[in-house]
Chains A and B, each alone.
Chain A
Amino acid sequence: MSLIFPKSFDKYLRVGAGVAGLLLLGGGGLVGYLLTPKVTNIGYSPTQPVAYSHKLHAGNMGMDCLYCHSTVDKAAYAAIPATEVCMNCHERVKPQNPEITKIRESYATGSPIRWVKIHRLPDYVYFNHKAHVTVGVSCVSCHGRIDQMAEVKQAKELTMAWCLECHRAPEANIRPVELVTKLDWKPDRDPAEIGREIIAAKHILPPTNCSGCHR
């Protein structure tokens, strides 16, 4: 009786419906994944006002992280060093280098260098460097091998899920406190084992409740 859709259309209808459904699911899933911090955060590496190379300083010359980021074991923030700190050496070292002149300028005028923040947590997250560094969580756990980066880029998701992974099972990221800044540390045995021993010895119990990080 029907003249517009012959019987044969039924199967197109079914197939069409199936395909549409699949596309919807697949597409949604894909978009969802592309929006996760895993994809969006890792690898973020903006150009900095001064082409400072961690690879050169921390890597090749083997300067300790604490020389510049001196408050990391004293306070929540691993403060960016004052221009003064750079000048301690660059007073004499490579004074004519164009990058260094930017530093001298800042030192002379007192106008700060406007570094671009890379490792950024939301404002409602109260991360505390002191709390981590002093129990033996190494810089490398969150920042990666900075000593191999000519230009620093974000190495980890820095998401809540990622934080919780470690807070729930920290052993893999706990090492003797004196080694936290030794980014290339290679233990002779299973690091997790060492971690477990330290945890047992120090009764390390990372918070997994809200107020541990949100206040």
Chain B
Amino acid sequence: MSSNINGKQYWRSLDELADSPKFHEWLHREFPENASEMLDGGSRRTMLKLMAASFGLAGLTACRRPVERILPNSLGVEDYIPGKSMFYATAYTQNGFASGLLVECHDGRPTKIEGNPKHPYSLGAASALAQGSLLNLYDPDRAKHVMEGARKATWEEFFKAAKQKLDATGGGAGVRILTESSTSPSLAALKKQVMTKYPQAKWVEYESLNRDEIVGGAQLAFGQPLETHYHFDKAAVVVALDSDFLGIDEPTILPTKQFSKRRRILESSGEMNRLYAAESAYTITGAMADHRLRARTADIGLLASALAKEVGVGGELKVLQGNQPAYAKWVTAVAKDLKAHAGKSIVVAGPKQPAAVHALIHAINKQLGNFGETVTFTKLESSEPHVSGLKTLANEMAGSQVRVLLIIGGNPAYTAPTDLDFGANMKRVDFSAYLGEEVNETAASANWALPKTHFLEAWGDARAMDGTATVMQPMIEPLYEGKPAIEVLALLADLKDKRPYDIVHNYWTEQWSAADRERKWRKALHEGTVEGTAYAEVKPASVAAAPALPAAPEGMEVVFRPSASLYDGRFANNPWLQETPDPITKLVWDNAAMVSPATAKSLNVVNGDVLTIQASGREVSTPVMIQPGHAENSVTVALGYGRTRCGHVGTGVGHNVGVIRTSTAFWYAIGAKVTKTSDSYALVTTQEHFSMEGRPLVLEAGLEEYKKHPEFVKGEGEHQELFSLFEEHKYDKGNQWGMVIDLNTCIGCNACLVACIAENNIPVVGKAGVAKGREMHWIRLDRYYVGNSEDPQLVTQPINCQQCESAPCESVCPVAATIHSPEGLNDMAYNRCIGTRYCANNCPYKVRRFNFLDYHKDLQESTKMVHNPNVTVRMRGVMEKCNYCVQRIQETKIAAHADGRRPIRDGEVLTACQQTCPADAIVFGNILDPNSEVAKRKKQDTHYALLAELNTKPRTTFSAKLRNPNPELA
């Protein structure tokens, strides 16, 4: 598909597109407001399918059939072929760090986000959040207009008012600019200019899921702020101390790519890395661990120092008290293992741990000789502490020393530590403006609320963690009146370049010699990376002696963690992500206080009972969810819920636990008081039963066992010789599509699930729908607990349509709406289906989804623009299911036919889930081609088919899960 990307084609068409009036005109027709002729009656699907020439139904002129009109452009747009999708490179930023994207656009509409294979921190994969961010672009509740209070204003008015205020301050005294984390070089350059213009102004960065402690740790250890890079592909042993490096912690994709490389094992002679994890609440990192230690977040420091002592780090270190024998055993074994793999190991801690712990981690890695091997360092863009920075700002605001406050992005009124009382303090500022994508809490308390462009609408740039820069380019004209931050600043400070394109383009081209400026610029746009922007490696001279750790008193702790679906709440109004189940609890449309079964017993609560949590002199009530494997005396709550102002979808969903998060107890609070209340609350999960009931579903073995009996999967689910009553087809010609899912590398991160939603126009059914068991996801990640209920292990099994060769669903459909294709696909013809649901009853894997209601009825026009025109939007009353992205298969086949009817290459067709899988756990291809990856995987000795004894002959099969336990802990 990436054959569509062609630098030349790209930059020329875009420059023209972006400015040509007819493009504006053409584009406007896409908008609900202006799409006059599209709105008079008419079929939604037609409109989506043929945006190429926007359609309108002029009603029934003849009873014969409705008249449809075709509206070609008046002036042709160069290189634009109606109905042909184009891929453009850009980047998604989380905590300021870029991960490269390729965005698929249909006729000017971004419809899908994929990772950029050429970007070092994406390598082709994109996280669930990155992909979900697409829907925010079309969010009908977005900030659309400049608002002064409740009055609809214009940009001109704003700039006039703002300029007055700024000039009044002279040198910018009392001017404060608050932004999210940013690594944008052009913004940094702009910042410099602004600060020279207003020397007394102050620039503050705040991110509620910031990396203060990590940066502080480096400061402590090396006396200078350094960025730490862990190379998991070089590590045989990894120890994760309260670190979700496979999950939400930055960088989100690369570690998984690297880790799974060492995890994948194709024959019994192979080697496999070993992962130790110590954490309070289960994360997907913990779920992947070979040995997971349940420990309070507050005790992790203790573990770290004990570990440091064991591996021989000097300095006075806390040792474990006698009352933690489990810890002691674990630490000794881990330390032994680490020493055995000196130079080939990694110890990593998460952002929730205090700086001292991070310093200690550095000491350990140094001691193990991992520096320069598995752990390297580069310089750090900005090292300003976020929390203290914001605190100072809040105090200044409270003291009315702030005269002009410009907030760019983020949502401090909601995410700021509650003790700063940020929202209220904003009222004390005589001129405050908020530039944001949504109409949220912060917008509500600012004098001016300004619409910010979505990152797919605007020019910009950002750096990846290693410094590699990406130029972010617009896929579509701003849908509303939004402007990007750089443009607003440039206009405010009245700088030379004012158009965002000029700002970014000129910033970069000035770095380069005049000779090959344009070439480099085009290359940067085309590749999605700017060559030679990665930082040089820094070799820290020495590591300071291990610092003293903060004490970890006993008692109940409350731990704040980002929501796997909503991050810090910025995706609260995103229905795709709201309905994306939590990777561990499978909870949707809610957050909950997670406690261990034992703690639940002592509190005498069951799932859904409402708890009152008192910490730092504040309190919050939230329903409880019992989480096997959670640490004792610890409650974990997810941030990002209970938004009070964010649109129709997210307002009031879940409970805002941020109200007990203070600047002093920012990541966790000790000595919390948790009490049961009388009321209870309905929590909804996509999976209710977490035991395998002793059935051979997820097959698992230890590495040693596997090496002893490579054929261990054969023993499971034994059955007699199978035969079919019907004459069986021979699938022995052409392409025979098949899929293998490697349970050993799958981390259960939901990336595939969101990719599938975007690719296949999968509807959202809402909390009530999921409660009734009507979620529509074509691929689901089944989660099972193995072992005792207090401290079980977790396994994940992605289940999509198994494309059975002798499919039970096909034989029972009375109208032949689901029939096998000659290429082994279980075709589903929506337009033939009458919805008897017999097929779904007869599906042993329960992968078929039924449109119980018209789930597209209430979609806003803007939201419809996200639909993939190559996939039918299903009406109510019909069955649907995974079809291996047949639209991609067909597109590739047609292309292959068109150029000389060549055979399709292995890996030329990528299903959406496979394309985005950060662990490369999904392999798809032609099983008849002996050289195809999928054919090789099917020959693997850990390969097995689910419920094979039913003789369904599934095409989707699995490689068994392996763990690599340490004999000393077994």
A214, B64: Cβ atoms closer than 8 Å:
no
CA distance A75 to B73 in the complex (A): 17
User: In the assembled complex, which residues on chain B have CB atoms less than 8 Å from the CB atom of A74?
Assistant: 81, 84
Q: Is A12 an interface residue (CB 8 A)?
A: no
Q: Is B45 an interface residue (CB 8 A)?
A: yes
User: In the assembled complex, which residues on chain A have CB atoms less than 8 Å from the CB atom of B37?
Assistant: 114
Residues A110 and B21 in contact in the complex (CB < 8 Å), given A81-B72, A126-B870: yes
Stretch at the interface among B47-55, B437-445, B707-715, B935-943: B47-55
A83, B883: Cβ atoms closer than 8 Å:
no
Cβ contacts B863-877/A at 8 Å (1 or 0 each): 000000011100000
Q: Closest A residue to B831 by CB, please name it.
A: A124
Stretch at the interface among B221-229, B244-252, B316-324, B886-894: B886-894
User: In the assembled complex, which residues on chain A have CB atoms less than 8 Å from the CB atom of B788?
Assistant: none
Q: Quick one: which of A71, A109, A112, A204 contacts B73, CB cutoff 8 A?
A: A112
B901, A210: Cβ atoms closer than 8 Å:
no
Residues A214 and B897 in contact in the complex (CB < 8 Å), given A74-B84, A79-B52: no
User: In the assembled complex, which residues on chain B have CB atoms less than 8 Å from the CB atom of A110?
Assistant: 21-22, 25, 74-75
Cβ contacts B68-90/A at 8 Å (1 or 0 each): 11111111100001111000000
Q: Is B67 an interface residue (CB 8 A)?
A: yes
Q: Is B400 an interface residue (CB 8 A)?
A: no
Residues A211 and B890 in contact in the complex (CB < 8 Å), given A75-B83, A124-B830, A134-B897: yes
B75, A214: Cβ atoms closer than 8 Å:
no
User: In the assembled complex, which residues on chain A have CB atoms less than 8 Å from the CB atom of B883?
Assistant: 211, 215
Chain A nearest CB, measured from B53 CB (Å): 6
B827, A75: Cβ atoms closer than 8 Å:
no
Q: Is A76 an interface residue (CB 8 A)?
A: yes
User: In the assembled complex, which residues on chain A have CB atoms less than 8 Å from the CB atom of B76?
Assistant: 81-82, 84-85
B890, A210: Cβ atoms closer than 8 Å:
no
Residues A112 and B72 in contact in the complex (CB < 8 Å), given A75-B81, A211-B883, A215-B887: yes
Chain A nearest CB, measured from B819 CB (Å): 6
B74, A215: Cβ atoms closer than 8 Å:
no
Q: Closest A residue to B895 by CB, please name it.
A: A130
User: In the assembled complex, which residues on chain B have CB atoms less than 8 Å from the CB atom of A71?
Assistant: 81-84
User: In the assembled complex, which residues on chain B have CB atoms less than 8 Å from the CB atom of A80?
Assistant: 53, 70, 72
Q: Is A148 an interface residue (CB 8 A)?
A: no
User: In the assembled complex, which residues on chain A have CB atoms less than 8 Å from the CB atom of B70?
Assistant: 80, 114-117
Q: Is B822 an interface residue (CB 8 A)?
A: yes
CA distance A106 to B76 in the complex (A): 12
User: In the assembled complex, which residues on chain B have CB atoms less than 8 Å from the CB atom of A194?
Assistant: none
Q: Is A203 an interface residue (CB 8 A)?
A: yes
Within 8 A of A (CB), among B33-60: 37, 43, 45-46, 49-50, 52-53, 55-56
Residues A134 and B898 in contact in the complex (CB < 8 Å), given A40-B64, A210-B829: yes
Q: Is B828 an interface residue (CB 8 A)?
A: yes
CA distance A207 to B890 in the complex (A): 10
Q: Is A189 an interface residue (CB 8 A)?
A: no
Chain A nearest CB, measured from B380 CB (Å): 47
Q: Is B730 an interface residue (CB 8 A)?
A: no
User: In the assembled complex, which residues on chain A have CB atoms less than 8 Å from the CB atom of B56?
Assistant: 114
Chain A nearest CB, measured from B875 CB (Å): 9
Residues A210 and B832 in contact in the complex (CB < 8 Å), given A124-B872, A215-B870: yes
Chain A nearest CB, measured from B545 CB (Å): 64
Within 8 A of B (CB), among A160-215: 202-205, 207, 209-212, 214-215
Chain A nearest CB, measured from B40 CB (Å): 12
Q: Is B821 an interface residue (CB 8 A)?
A: yes
CA distance A203 to B900 in the complex (A): 11
CA distance A39 to B67 in the complex (A): 18
User: In the assembled complex, which residues on chain B have CB atoms less than 8 Å from the CB atom of A215?
Assistant: 870-872, 883, 886-887, 890
Q: Quick one: which of A44, A83, A107, A123 contacts B49, CB cutoff 8 A?
A: A123
Within 8 A of B (CB), among A115-135: 115-117, 120, 122-124, 126, 128, 130-131, 134-135
Number of interface residues of A (CB under 8 A): 48
Q: Quick one: which of B74, B819, B830, B897 contacts A131, CB cutoff 8 A?
A: B897
CA distance A211 to B871 in the complex (A): 11
User: In the assembled complex, which residues on chain A have CB atoms less than 8 Å from the CB atom of B819?
Assistant: 209-210
CA distance A76 to B829 in the complex (A): 20
B68, A117: Cβ atoms closer than 8 Å:
yes
B74, A107: Cβ atoms closer than 8 Å:
yes
A75, B84: Cβ atoms closer than 8 Å:
yes
B898, A130: Cβ atoms closer than 8 Å:
yes
CA distance A106 to B829 in the complex (A): 41
Q: Closest B residue to A134 by CB, please name it.
A: B898
Within 8 A of A (CB), among B672-692: none
Q: Closest B residue to A128 by CB, please name it.
A: B894
B872, A79: Cβ atoms closer than 8 Å:
no
Chain A nearest CB, measured from B811 CB (Å): 16
Q: Closest B residue to A109 by CB, please name it.
A: B74
Q: Is B857 an interface residue (CB 8 A)?
A: no
CA distance A203 to B84 in the complex (A): 26
User: In the assembled complex, which residues on chain B have CB atoms less than 8 Å from the CB atom of A2?
Assistant: none
B894, A211: Cβ atoms closer than 8 Å:
no
Q: Closest A residue to B832 by CB, please name it.
A: A210
Q: Is A113 an interface residue (CB 8 A)?
A: yes
Q: Closest A residue to B77 by CB, please name it.
A: A82
Within 8 A of B (CB), among A85-110: 85, 106-107, 109-110
Q: Closest B residue to A113 by CB, please name it.
A: B72
Residues A46 and B67 in contact in the complex (CB < 8 Å), given A76-B83, A79-B72, A79-B81: yes
Q: Is B160 an interface residue (CB 8 A)?
A: no
Q: Closest B residue to A125 by CB, please name it.
A: B831
B69, A209: Cβ atoms closer than 8 Å:
no
Q: Quick one: which of A73, A79, A116, A212 contacts B68, CB cutoff 8 A?
A: A116
Q: Is B695 an interface residue (CB 8 A)?
A: no
Q: Is A8 an interface residue (CB 8 A)?
A: no
User: In the assembled complex, which residues on chain A have CB atoms less than 8 Å from the CB atom of B81?
Assistant: 71, 74-75, 79
CA distance A102 to B887 in the complex (A): 39
Residues A117 and B69 in contact in the complex (CB < 8 Å), given A74-B84, A123-B49: yes
Q: Closest A residue to B873 by CB, please name it.
A: A123
Q: Is B825 an interface residue (CB 8 A)?
A: yes
A123, B75: Cβ atoms closer than 8 Å:
no
CA distance A209 to B810 in the complex (A): 13
Q: Is A111 an interface residue (CB 8 A)?
A: yes
User: In the assembled complex, which residues on chain A have CB atoms less than 8 Å from the CB atom of B71?
Assistant: 112-115
CA distance A212 to B883 in the complex (A): 12
A123, B73: Cβ atoms closer than 8 Å:
no
Q: Closest A residue to B48 by CB, please name it.
A: A123
CA distance A209 to B64 in the complex (A): 29
Q: Is B65 an interface residue (CB 8 A)?
A: yes
Within 8 A of A (CB), among B241-264: none
Q: Closest B residue to A208 by CB, please name it.
A: B822
CA distance A209 to B21 in the complex (A): 44
User: In the assembled complex, which residues on chain B have CB atoms less than 8 Å from the CB atom of A73?
Assistant: 898
B73, A82: Cβ atoms closer than 8 Å:
yes
CA distance A211 to B22 in the complex (A): 37
Residues A115 and B69 in contact in the complex (CB < 8 Å), given A83-B75, A110-B74, A215-B872: yes
B831, A214: Cβ atoms closer than 8 Å:
yes
B74, A112: Cβ atoms closer than 8 Å:
yes
CA distance A205 to B74 in the complex (A): 39
Q: Quick one: which of A83, A112, A131 contacts B894, CB cutoff 8 A?
A: A131
Q: Closest B residue to A78 by CB, please name it.
A: B82
Q: List 16 A-B contacts (CB under 8 A).
A: A75-B84, A76-B83, A77-B52, A81-B76, A110-B75, A113-B71, A117-B68, A117-B70, A126-B890, A128-B890, A135-B897, A209-B827, A210-B828, A211-B828, A215-B871, A215-B890
Q: Given known contacts A79-B53, A83-B72, A114-B56, what 9 new A-B pairs fall within 8 Å (CB)?
A: A71-B84, A74-B84, A75-B81, A82-B74, A83-B75, A114-B70, A123-B43, A131-B894, A211-B886
Give the top 8 A-B pairs by smallest Cβ distance, nearest first. A210-B827, A209-B821, A82-B76, A210-B829, A123-B45, A112-B71, A117-B68, A80-B72
A interface vs B, CB < 8 Å? 40, 44, 46, 71, 73-77, 79-85, 106-107, 109-117, 120, 122-124, 126, 128, 130-131, 134-135, 202-205, 207, 209-212, 214-215
